[in-house]
Each structure stands twice: as C-alpha cells, then as structure tokens.
C-alpha cells in the first residue's frame, strides 16, 4: 500500500469486480513470460493474490526470483512490483477481502483453510 495515484486508484476500483486477473511472471529458469489466471482483490493501488500452494507454486517461485510482473484485468494492463505480504494488518485485510469476494466470507465468520493459510502476495501497480 504505497503511493496514492488517484487516476490509477479510480481505474482499479472500477476493475475490482472482475472475476479474474491475468498475472505474468518471468520464468526463473527459462526467462520466458508465464501467464496464469487467478483470483484477486484490490485495495487502493495494490492488488492482492492468495497462493494456496504457498511457496511451491511456480508463479510464486518466479516472482521471488524477479519481482517485476504484469497484470491484466479485462482489457487493462499494468506493471507492478510483487512482494510477499508479512505485515499483520495488511495480511488480515487481504485475507478478508479475497475470502469475502470469492467465498462469501462475512465479519464474525471463520475463514476457510485457503483464507487462513494461503501465502499472500501483494503487487504495487503502476499504469
């Protein structure tokens, strides 16, 4: 949750209801781009993803090797810097946001196993 670019934040808010985004990482061994379709949440100018496979997911291994990524939501493409979220307040916000969007989680309910244990990746986006 870094700089607050108003135009970017407005655009991302409009795109936040989309079902999927497309994350492109650079292969840590091949150097080739790899795109996946994945669930996402948006807060300000940061995008959040949960990796159910944790550090074993290829896309997580790729972004750990090279944090420069591309994200496409609908017809809009963004560049960004990926990071593992380890700050408690940000992690809780991301878990609740994604569990709410995709699993109907509401305040006072328990999170699913995915919501509780998945590795949280934040991507600070730029236009």
SS3 for 22-41, per residue? EEEEECCCCCCEEEEEECCE
What share of the chain has pLDDT > 70, as a percent?
A: 97
Q: Hey, is 67 helix, strand or coil?
A: coil
pLDDT for the residue 127: 79
Check whether domain 6-126 has CATH 2.30.30.90, yes or no: no
User: What was the pLDDT predicted at 4?
Assistant: 59
21-45: per-residue pLDDT in tens?
Answer: 999 999 999 999 999 999 999 999 9
Give 57-88 pLDDT, tens digit per residue. Answer: 999 999 999 999 999 999 999 999 999 999 99
């Amino acid at each position: 949750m870094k700089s607050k670019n108003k135009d970017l934040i407005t655009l991302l808010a409009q795109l936040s209801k989309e079902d999927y985004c497309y994350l492109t990482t650079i292969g840590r061994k091949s150097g080739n781009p790899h795109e996946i379709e994945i669930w996402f949440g948006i807060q300000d100018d940061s995008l959040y993803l949960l990796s159910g496979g944790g550090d074993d997911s290829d896309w997580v291994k790729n972004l750990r090797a090279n944090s420069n990524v591309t994200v496409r939501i609908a017809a809009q493409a963004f560049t960004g810097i990926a990071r593992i979220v380890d700050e408690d307040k940000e992690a809780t916000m991301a878990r609740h946001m994604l569990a709410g969007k995709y699993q109907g989680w509401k305040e006072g309910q328990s999170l699913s196993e995915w919501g509780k244990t998945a590795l949280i990746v934040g991507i600070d986006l730029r236009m």
